[in-house]
Protein backbone atom coordinates (compact mmCIF):
# COMPACT_ATOMS: atom_id res chain seq x y z
CA UNK A 1 0.00 0.00 0.00
CA UNK A 2 2.79 2.40 0.97
CA UNK A 3 4.78 1.40 -2.11
CA UNK A 4 1.77 2.04 -4.37
CA UNK A 5 1.10 5.42 -2.71
CA UNK A 6 4.69 6.53 -3.18
CA UNK A 7 4.87 5.29 -6.78
CA UNK A 8 1.63 7.08 -7.60
CA UNK A 9 2.84 10.32 -5.95
CA UNK A 10 6.08 10.25 -7.95
CA UNK A 11 4.35 9.49 -11.26
CA UNK A 12 1.78 12.22 -10.61
CA UNK A 13 4.50 14.74 -9.75
CA UNK A 14 6.37 13.90 -12.97
CA UNK A 15 3.23 14.26 -15.09
CA UNK A 16 2.21 17.55 -13.46
CA UNK A 17 5.75 18.89 -14.00
CA UNK A 18 5.64 17.79 -17.65
CA UNK A 19 2.17 19.28 -18.16
CA UNK A 20 3.37 22.65 -16.85
CA UNK A 21 6.77 22.77 -18.49
CA UNK A 22 5.75 20.96 -21.71
CA UNK A 23 9.38 20.03 -22.17
CA UNK A 24 9.10 16.59 -23.67
CA UNK A 25 5.72 15.57 -25.06
CA UNK A 26 5.41 18.20 -27.83
CA UNK A 27 9.00 17.61 -28.96
CA UNK A 28 8.66 13.82 -28.88
CA UNK A 29 5.31 13.87 -30.69
CA UNK A 30 6.83 16.09 -33.36
CA UNK A 31 9.81 13.75 -33.59
CA UNK A 32 7.74 10.59 -34.14
CA UNK A 33 5.61 12.27 -36.81
CA UNK A 34 8.75 13.57 -38.56
CA UNK A 35 10.23 10.06 -38.47
CA UNK A 36 7.12 8.76 -40.27
CA UNK A 37 7.23 11.58 -42.81
CA UNK A 38 10.90 10.85 -43.59
CA UNK A 39 10.17 7.12 -43.91
CA UNK A 40 7.20 7.91 -46.14
CA UNK A 41 9.41 9.86 -48.55
CA UNK A 42 12.48 7.65 -48.12
CA UNK A 43 10.83 4.34 -49.02
CA UNK A 44 8.77 3.46 -52.07
CA UNK A 45 5.61 2.64 -50.18
CA UNK A 46 2.76 0.75 -51.80
CA UNK A 47 0.18 -1.74 -50.56
CA UNK A 48 2.67 -4.59 -51.04
CA UNK A 49 5.70 -3.09 -49.30
CA UNK A 50 3.92 -1.27 -46.46
CA UNK A 51 3.44 -4.35 -44.18
CA UNK A 52 7.16 -5.08 -44.23
CA UNK A 53 8.28 -1.46 -43.73
CA UNK A 54 5.71 -0.17 -41.21
CA UNK A 55 6.80 -2.31 -38.21
CA UNK A 56 10.40 -1.18 -38.56
CA UNK A 57 9.44 2.48 -38.83
CA UNK A 58 7.07 2.26 -35.84
CA UNK A 59 9.61 0.64 -33.55
CA UNK A 60 12.49 2.82 -34.68
CA UNK A 61 10.46 5.93 -33.86
CA UNK A 62 9.39 4.46 -30.51
CA UNK A 63 12.87 3.33 -29.53
CA UNK A 64 14.40 6.76 -30.10
CA UNK A 65 11.50 8.59 -28.45
CA UNK A 66 11.86 6.21 -25.51
CA UNK A 67 15.59 6.87 -25.18
CA UNK A 68 14.89 10.60 -24.85
CA UNK A 69 11.94 10.15 -22.46
CA UNK A 70 13.69 7.72 -20.10
CA UNK A 71 16.98 9.61 -20.20
CA UNK A 72 15.24 12.83 -19.15
CA UNK A 73 13.35 11.08 -16.33
CA UNK A 74 16.45 10.76 -14.19
CA UNK A 75 18.72 13.44 -15.60
CA UNK A 76 16.44 16.24 -14.41
CA UNK A 77 16.18 14.67 -10.93
CA UNK A 78 19.96 14.45 -10.63
CA UNK A 79 20.53 17.95 -11.99
CA UNK A 80 18.14 19.49 -9.46
CA UNK A 81 19.35 17.22 -6.66
CA UNK A 82 15.76 16.18 -6.09
CA UNK A 83 16.37 12.43 -6.23
CA UNK A 84 18.53 12.59 -3.10
CA UNK A 85 15.78 14.51 -1.29
CA UNK A 86 13.32 11.76 -2.30
CA UNK A 87 15.63 8.95 -1.20
CA UNK A 88 16.25 10.69 2.13
CA UNK A 89 12.56 10.27 3.01
CA UNK A 90 13.19 6.55 3.48
CA UNK A 91 10.92 5.71 0.53
CA UNK A 92 11.60 2.19 -0.79
CA UNK A 93 13.81 2.39 -3.91
CA UNK A 94 11.49 0.00 -5.75
CA UNK A 95 8.59 2.44 -5.18
CA UNK A 96 10.64 5.40 -6.39
CA UNK A 97 11.71 3.42 -9.44
CA UNK A 98 8.14 2.28 -10.17
CA UNK A 99 6.89 5.88 -9.96
CA UNK A 100 9.56 7.12 -12.36
CA UNK A 101 8.90 4.26 -14.78
CA UNK A 102 5.12 4.86 -14.71
CA UNK A 103 5.62 8.59 -15.35
CA UNK A 104 8.01 7.99 -18.26
CA UNK A 105 5.75 5.28 -19.70
CA UNK A 106 2.78 7.66 -19.58
CA UNK A 107 4.75 10.25 -21.55
CA UNK A 108 5.63 7.64 -24.16
CA UNK A 109 2.01 6.45 -24.36
CA UNK A 110 0.94 10.02 -25.16
CA UNK A 111 3.47 9.98 -28.03
CA UNK A 112 2.09 6.64 -29.17
CA UNK A 113 -1.37 8.21 -29.29
CA UNK A 114 0.07 10.48 -31.99
CA UNK A 115 2.27 7.85 -33.60
CA UNK A 116 -0.31 5.11 -34.22
CA UNK A 117 -2.88 7.27 -36.07
CA UNK A 118 0.01 8.77 -38.08
CA UNK A 119 1.13 5.23 -38.95
CA UNK A 120 -2.39 4.50 -40.20
CA UNK A 121 -2.30 7.69 -42.26
CA UNK A 122 1.10 7.13 -43.88
CA UNK A 123 1.30 3.32 -44.08
CA UNK A 124 -2.35 2.23 -43.94
CA UNK A 125 -1.77 0.16 -40.80
CA UNK A 126 -5.19 -0.69 -39.34
CA UNK A 127 -5.53 0.70 -35.80
CA UNK A 128 -6.74 -2.55 -34.23
CA UNK A 129 -7.16 -3.11 -30.47
CA UNK A 130 -4.58 -5.91 -30.68
CA UNK A 131 -1.99 -3.54 -32.09
CA UNK A 132 -2.69 -0.90 -29.43
CA UNK A 133 -2.38 -3.51 -26.66
CA UNK A 134 0.90 -4.78 -28.16
CA UNK A 135 2.39 -1.28 -28.23
CA UNK A 136 1.27 -0.54 -24.66
CA UNK A 137 2.61 -3.89 -23.39
CA UNK A 138 5.94 -3.23 -25.07
CA UNK A 139 6.01 0.25 -23.51
CA UNK A 140 5.66 -1.23 -20.00
CA UNK A 141 8.70 -3.49 -20.33
CA UNK A 142 10.72 -0.92 -22.25
CA UNK A 143 9.99 1.64 -19.52
CA UNK A 144 11.17 -0.68 -16.76
CA UNK A 145 14.43 -1.40 -18.56
CA UNK A 146 14.88 2.15 -19.83
CA UNK A 147 14.41 3.70 -16.40
CA UNK A 148 16.78 1.37 -14.59
CA UNK A 149 19.57 2.11 -17.07
CA UNK A 150 18.69 5.81 -17.16
CA UNK A 151 19.10 5.92 -13.36
CA UNK A 152 22.40 4.09 -13.68
CA UNK A 153 23.94 6.47 -16.23
CA UNK A 154 22.34 9.72 -15.02
CA UNK A 155 25.48 10.82 -13.17
CA UNK A 156 27.89 9.92 -15.95
CA UNK A 157 29.23 12.45 -18.38
CA UNK A 158 28.60 10.35 -21.50
CA UNK A 159 25.06 9.38 -20.47
CA UNK A 160 23.46 10.36 -23.79
CA UNK A 161 25.74 7.87 -25.55
CA UNK A 162 25.73 5.16 -22.89
CA UNK A 163 21.98 4.87 -22.41
CA UNK A 164 21.17 3.74 -25.97
CA UNK A 165 24.22 1.47 -26.03
CA UNK A 166 23.10 -0.31 -22.88
CA UNK A 167 19.35 -0.39 -23.34
CA UNK A 168 18.67 -0.94 -27.05
CA UNK A 169 20.13 -4.48 -27.12
CA UNK A 170 17.83 -5.40 -24.22
CA UNK A 171 14.82 -3.90 -26.00
CA UNK A 172 15.27 -6.19 -29.02
CA UNK A 173 12.86 -8.89 -27.74
CA UNK A 174 10.15 -6.21 -27.41
CA UNK A 175 10.89 -4.94 -30.90
CA UNK A 176 10.72 -8.48 -32.35
CA UNK A 177 7.41 -9.32 -30.63
CA UNK A 178 5.98 -5.85 -31.29
CA UNK A 179 7.02 -6.00 -34.95
CA UNK A 180 5.28 -9.35 -35.27
CA UNK A 181 2.11 -7.79 -33.83
CA UNK A 182 2.19 -4.98 -36.41
CA UNK A 183 2.71 -7.44 -39.27
CA UNK A 184 -0.22 -9.58 -38.12
CA UNK A 185 -2.37 -6.46 -37.81
CA UNK A 186 -1.45 -5.65 -41.43
CA UNK A 187 -2.58 -9.05 -42.67
CA UNK A 188 0.48 -11.32 -42.26
CA UNK A 189 -0.03 -14.97 -41.30
CA UNK A 190 -0.37 -15.90 -37.62
CA UNK A 191 -2.32 -14.58 -34.67
CA UNK A 192 -1.61 -11.51 -32.60
CA UNK A 193 -2.19 -13.52 -29.39
CA UNK A 194 1.19 -15.16 -29.71
CA UNK A 195 2.97 -11.79 -29.81
CA UNK A 196 0.87 -10.43 -26.93
CA UNK A 197 1.66 -13.47 -24.77
CA UNK A 198 5.37 -13.05 -25.42
CA UNK A 199 5.20 -9.33 -24.59
CA UNK A 200 3.35 -10.09 -21.34
CA UNK A 201 5.96 -12.65 -20.28
CA UNK A 202 8.76 -10.20 -21.10
CA UNK A 203 6.98 -7.47 -19.11
CA UNK A 204 6.66 -9.64 -16.01
CA UNK A 205 10.27 -10.78 -16.27
CA UNK A 206 11.78 -7.32 -16.70
CA UNK A 207 9.49 -5.52 -14.24
CA UNK A 208 10.46 -8.01 -11.51
CA UNK A 209 14.18 -7.92 -12.35
CA UNK A 210 14.39 -4.14 -12.57
CA UNK A 211 12.43 -3.68 -9.32
CA UNK A 212 14.96 -5.91 -7.57
CA UNK A 213 17.84 -3.97 -9.13
CA UNK A 214 16.35 -0.58 -8.17
CA UNK A 215 17.84 -0.60 -4.66
CA UNK A 216 21.38 -0.98 -5.95
CA UNK A 217 20.92 1.58 -8.70
CA UNK A 218 19.16 4.31 -6.75
CA UNK A 219 20.56 4.08 -3.26
CA UNK A 220 24.06 2.59 -3.35
Partner 1 sequence: MSAIVAEGISHWFGSEPALDSVDLVVERGDHVAVLGENGAGKTTLLRILATALRPSAGRLEIMGLDALKERARLRTRMAFVAHTPGLYPALTAEENLAFHCSLRGVDRARIPEVLGMAGLANVAQRRVSELSRGMQQRLAIARAVLHEPLLMILDEPDASLDAEGADLLAEVLKNRTAVIATHNQALATRLCPRTLTLRKGRVLGAGSRLRIVQ
Binding residues for partner 1 (CB under 8 A): 2, 5-6, 9-10, 13, 16-17, 20-21, 80-82, 84-92, 219-220
Nearest-approach distance from CB 220 to partner 1, in angstroms? 7
Nearest-approach distance from CB 156 to partner 1, in angstroms? 15
Least Cα distance to 207 among 180, 174, 184 occurs for 174
Are 186 and 51 contacting, i.e. CB atoms less than 8 angstroms apart? Answer: yes
Tell me whether residue 107 or residue 135 sits nearer to partner 1 (CB atom).
Answer: 107
Helix/strand/coil for 125: coil
Tell me whether residue 94 or residue 139 sits nearer to partner 1 (CB atom).
Answer: 94
Tell me whether residue 5 or residue 197 sits nearer to partner 1 (CB atom).
Answer: 5
Tell me whether residue 160 or residue 219 sits nearer to partner 1 (CB atom).
Answer: 219
Nearest-approach distance from CB 1 to partner 1, in angstroms? 10
Q: How far apart are CA 176 and CA 183, in angstroms?
A: 11
What lies within 8 Å, CB to CB, of 24 at 6+ separation is 18, 68, 69, 72, 107
Q: How many residues does the chain have?
A: 220
Tell me whether residue 80 or residue 191 sits nearer to partner 1 (CB atom).
Answer: 80
Nearest-approach distance from CB 88 to partner 1, in angstroms? 5
Least Cα distance to 215 among 106, 98, 77, 85 occurs for 98
Tell me whether residue 13 or residue 159 sits nearer to partner 1 (CB atom).
Answer: 13
**Residue 220: its H or E element:** none
In whole angstroms, how far apart are CA 16 and each of 23, 31, 57, 108?
Answer: 12, 22, 30, 15
Name the DSSP letter for residue 133. H
Q: How far apart are CA 138 and CA 22, in angstroms?
A: 24
Nearest-approach distance from CB 85 to partner 1, in angstroms? 4
Nearest-approach distance from CB 94 to partner 1, in angstroms? 12
Amino acid sequence: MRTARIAFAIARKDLVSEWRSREMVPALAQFVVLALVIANFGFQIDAKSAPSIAPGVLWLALVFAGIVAFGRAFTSEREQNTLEAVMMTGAPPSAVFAGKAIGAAAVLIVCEAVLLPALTLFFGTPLSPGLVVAVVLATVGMSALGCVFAAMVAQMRARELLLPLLVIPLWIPFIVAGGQAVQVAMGANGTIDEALRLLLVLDILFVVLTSLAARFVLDD
